[in-house]
Amino acid sequence: MIAEVLAGRRLFVTGSTGFLGTALVERLLRSVPECELVLLVRPGRRSSAAQRVRREILRNDAFDRLRERLGEGFATETDRRIQVVAGDVSLDGLGLDDEGRQALASCDVAIHAAASVAFDSPLDRAVEVNLLGPARIAEALQSVGSTAHLVSVSTCYVAGNRRGRAPEILVSDTPFSPAVGWREEVEAARRRRADVEAESRTPPLLARFAKAARAELGAAGVPLLATKAEKLRDAWVADTMVEAGRARARALGWPDAYAYTKALGEQALLDVRGDVPVTIVRPSIIESALAEPRPGWIRGFRMAEPVIITYAQGLLREFPGIPEGVVDVIPVDLVVAAVVDAAARGPADPSDPPAIVQVASGSTNPLHYRHLVDLVHGWFSRNPLYDTKGQPIVVPRWSFPGRGRVQAQLERAVKTIDRAEKALSALPLRGTSARWSADLEEHRAAAARALVYVELYGAYAETEAIFGVDELLDRWSTLDAADRERFCFHPAVIDWDAYVTEVHLPSVVEHARVRSTPGTRSGPSRTERLRARVLSADRHLAAFDLENTLIASNVVESYSWLATRRLPPGDRVRLALRALAEGPSLLALDRKDRGDFLRHFYRRFEGAPVDQLDEDAVQLLSHLLLAKSFPAGFRRVREHRRLGHRTVLITGALDLIVERNLGPLFDDIVCARMGVTEEGRYTGELLAAPPTGEARAQAMADYAEAEGLRLEEAVAYADSASDLPMLEAVGFPVAVNPETRLASIAHKRGWLVEQWSKSPGGPRPLLPIGPMTRRTSFAEAGRGRHGAAR
């Protein structure tokens, strides 16, 4: 009797925060009531190992049955039976302290279920966890003088890309297995990481990352661009290490770095285990539960789920695979039962070779690829997902093309969309038009995601190995009726039609949180929910940009209005045409650095009389600012003030324009200010750095600190990627009429996007309406003293 054998024993478990590990902990607590568990858990950045167990494991719905059985005693029972020790299988000695070593020494069985299960793990990460992890467990057991039985979870795919029968034998005994030394592979992976890190810091690559950061964020300020460039460098290192693992695995006959490092991990374990008795359990592709802890239970998305959902959304038109091939899937509860059975048995003699148990379905109860595809197609034809307009999505019929053909099609699609995105980003699109870029990026992400699925999982759809389960069936034959019911692991119990259509697919759709009902969704829309959060009374501060956020105007237009207002019509036209000719160069400077652009442009005010500009600025309000304002924006400012929020305008516009005209609307204004000569003329030089980019974010942070306000409860409104520092500094960013880059970023991050427009009607004069006098304008005065206006 399995439960009776394990009663009173202490089991050391790794990987308990993962899919298999969570199911294993639940089954042991519920079905082996007298055992105790020692869980090795890596502390999080902001949480201890014990906190992670409470939040990530015990709160999972896998424990609902046990929670219902124990009621209020659930916490007491789990505290009594679970000891949490901090550690990490990627570290030598498991990173255990003295308490952890004592806990390990007290255990009778060690179950190693921790793994880097992603098929696209960086090579060195997969090596440290999958290859060295099992060996480190065995060495740790030896270091504390323990002879505990080690059950190490591997994978059937250590057999590699082979055809035909794959029996339950050691990898080294497998015919045609490459002779590879695991120690040499570890050293090579570590050297490769060091080489890639060094290469990523060479001047050509650093320049490339900086250029890519600017292409994505524009003139967002040096700190944000530097942070983005460093993230791009990290991503390049990770991608390079992923490709290194993929290339090395395929060169040696494995589909990916996961299978490759798992295979060498078995070899490493056998070399260092000493007197530690070992059983290796090799599951095939682990999927949702057949029955335990409940039908369809799953944690996170496994291998098949992303492919299934992408297909159901109509985004995966083709996928490679062999129609008559076998997709070797096994429900997680069958794997858990086999692991618990292995823990209860132990090897007959510690000196015996490790027992190898494969938990797979292909040899006894095969699920053929075409049959699986037909089941999925039929189910989603009867139970379609729905698009954003509430219309059913028609799923395609796959024709089972080769992997190379599908990859080539998807690569062409990604490149085509990339070119279209690049062309759009060069256009001065804004607001709803800029949404085109976000839509394009969404399509690109879908194509790129499909390409990744083909690259990662295509090999598994084309596998022709049949995994033997003789040892598994021999063990099944020794169980009594009670154990067969409580710890069922025979693959023949699976009715594939029922499992796929009644258990797995409904569970996948539920966990994916996709639209599975027709028509429009009831209740508030996502935009309405975000807006309600922004306008909550809990907010403290609302910061606003000005140009293209509250008014459809800019500093160039304000300058042109002021500079030409007192000129005859002919001179106004000539100055306006000259400004138009300078447009491209000014736009380029603005995109490069907003602060430099403002310093350069405001030099045009040099020599302008203060009294004259003060007088004209009053007229500017009614003739330009109000005519080009967004009424919804001004209403939003008043709404924030009504709610008791502090409101501040942060703009690079000049004080002479905004303070007198817009001062009554806000609690405070942060803006650019020019120096004044003793003769009452503007110098054209700013008194301080203009509030742009990171300076704008710093100005907002300083204001919040001075007023005792919290930025996490603040709202910021802006229209450009150059305003990202300010938007990222607050808890509630709002993109208003966003330009292309910001529209894409806001869409990715789920920010509120507002589309505000000018009021219809009203005067639209082509040129400023000024007094009919021949009074010299400040632009003429400036040219008379200093040459052409700069």
Predicted confidence at residue 336, as pLDDT, reads: 97
| Alpha carbon 694 to chain centroid, angstroms | 25
Predicted confidence at residue 597, as pLDDT, reads: 81
**Banded model confidence at residue 625, pLDDT cuts 50, 70, 90:** confident
Ranked by mean pLDDT, the top range of 434-448, 569-583, 652-666 is 652-666
Domain positions in the chain: 1-178+253-284+328-363+468-489, 302-323+366-461+491-518, 530-785
pLDDT value at 788 more than 60: no
Superfamily of domain 1-178+253-284+328-363+468-489: NAD(P)-binding Rossmann-like Domain (3.40.50.720)
Indicate if 530-785 has the same CATH topology as 1-178+253-284+328-363+468-489. Answer: yes
Position of tokens 């124990």?
70
| Alpha carbon 787 to chain centroid, angstroms | 55
Predicted confidence at residue 116, as pLDDT, reads: 87
Rounded to two decimals, the pTM is 0.79
d(CA 638, CA 203): 50
**Banded model confidence at residue 774, pLDDT cuts 50, 70, 90:** very low
**668-691 per-position pLDDT tens digit:** 999 999 999 999 998 989 888 888
Predicted confidence at residue 586, as pLDDT, reads: 67
Q: Report whether 677 contacts 683 (CB < 8 A).
A: yes
* Omega prior to 293 cis, within 30 of 0: yes
**177-227 per-position pLDDT tens digit:** 678 899 999 999 999 999 999 999 999 999 999 999 888 787 777 888 898
Mean per-residue pLDDT, 259-272: 94
pLDDT value at 24 more than 60: yes
Q: Report whether 281 contacts 151 (CB < 8 A).
A: yes
Q: By mean pLDDT, which of 272-281, 291-300, 310-319, 354-363 is the weakest?
A: 310-319
**Average pLDDT of the chain?**
86
**Banded model confidence at residue 493, pLDDT cuts 50, 70, 90:** very high
Superfamily of domain 530-785: HAD superfamily/HAD-like (3.40.50.1000)
Most distant CA pair in the chain, distance: 109
Of the candidates 1, 103, 598, 687, which has an alpha carbon nearest to the alpha carbon of residue 345? 1
d(CA 367, CA 397): 19
**Banded model confidence at residue 439, pLDDT cuts 50, 70, 90:** low
Give the percent of the chain with pLDDT over 70.
88
Q: Report whether 156 contacts 458 (CB < 8 A).
A: no
Rg of the chain taking only CA atoms, in angstroms = 33
Predicted confidence at residue 367, as pLDDT, reads: 94
Position of tokens 């497998």?
174
Q: By mean pLDDT, which of 277-281, 579-583, 672-676, 774-778 is the weakest?
A: 774-778
The two tokens of residue 371 are 């049959």
**Banded model confidence at residue 430, pLDDT cuts 50, 70, 90:** low
**Residue 313 DSSP class:** T
Mean per-residue pLDDT, 12-38: 94
Q: What SS3 class is residue 214?
A: helix
**Banded model confidence at residue 26, pLDDT cuts 50, 70, 90:** very high
Give the percent of the chain with pLDDT over 90.
53
Q: Report whether 53 contacts 39 (CB < 8 A).
A: yes
Cα separations in angstroms, 446 against 307, 385, 419, 598: 11, 16, 16, 40
The two tokens of residue 768 are 């400023």
pLDDT value at 320 more than 90: no
User: How does DSSP assign 470-516, residue by residue?
Assistant: HHHHHHHHT--HHHHHHS---GGG--HHHIIIIIIHHHHHHHHT---
**Banded model confidence at residue 784, pLDDT cuts 50, 70, 90:** very low
Cα separations in angstroms, 402 against 177, 253, 411, 642: 26, 19, 14, 63
Predicted confidence at residue 591, as pLDDT, reads: 67
The residue ranking higher by pLDDT, 12 or 116, is 12
Q: Residue 344: what residue type?
A: A
Q: At 284, phi and psi to the nearest 5?
A: -85, -135
The two tokens of residue 733 are 């960013």
Mean per-residue pLDDT, 736-765: 82
Q: At 361, phi and psi to the nearest 5?
A: -115, -15
**Residue 396 DSSP class:** P
pLDDT value at 290 more than 90: yes
Q: Which ranges of 517-654 would DSSP assign to H, the alpha helix?
A: 526-534, 555-564, 569-592, 594-602, 610-620, 631-642
